[in-house]
Amino acid sequence: MKRIVDGNARYVAGNFDNKDFSAGRAARAAAQYPIAAIVSCADARVAPELVFDQAPGELFVVRVAGNFVNDDGLASLEYGVKFLGTPLVLVLGHSGCGAIDATIKVLKDGTRLPGHLPTLIDALKPGVEAAIAKKPQDLLAEATAENVRSNVRRLSTAKPIVGRMVAEGKVKIVGGIYDIGSGRVTMI
């Protein structure tokens, strides 16, 4: 956790440690030992290795629009914690998330989305509905935070692997929000 927090502080300040991404390539070809798994949004403005100033091989990243965990994402995280020994999982939401905003519009305004987008909306509903019930001043920000909290809760009890490893103290699940404008990650 300290390496992640310190890396974000370096990123915000513009004082990067990791400038040569070719360094360590031979070692990475042999094995990977990520310090954290990041459940991140697919948003092109969110690049976890940069946000946390980590070199290739240090983060195990699962990305999907809206940074939620479905069965496919859970399987990836199970692999990371069980077989790679990843001790930390961070669910990372971000400011101005288009997937969360679209979910709000579907739930509040009845907007209809084409293709497979309704499946994405269904996955994001629990966090957005919890935020709507609070009647916050900034619904998008609160829905983003509630989505992160919802996915942290899901992972903390996910069977059969992740929840057990959390209970055994082998894995920690945390949540954070990345502010695209400042670069700062606030843990929630």
Span 46-84, pLDDT tens digits: 999 999 999 889 999 999 999 999 999 999 999 999 999
Query: Which sign does the torsion angle of CA 154, 155, 161, 166 carry?
Result: negative
> What does the domain layout of the chain look like in residue ranges?
2-18+27-187
Q: What is the pLDDT of residue 17?
A: 86
DSSP code at position 69: -
| β-strand pairing of 88-94 with 36-40 | parallel
Question: What are the CA-CA distances from residue 79 to residues 24, 71, 84, 92 (Å)?
Answer: 23, 12, 7, 19
Of the options 3.40.190.10, 3.40.1050.10, 3.30.450.20, 3.90.920.10, the CATH number for the domain spanning 2-18+27-187: 3.40.1050.10
Span 88-107, pLDDT tens digits: 999 999 999 999 999 999 99
Q: What is the pLDDT of residue 163?
A: 98
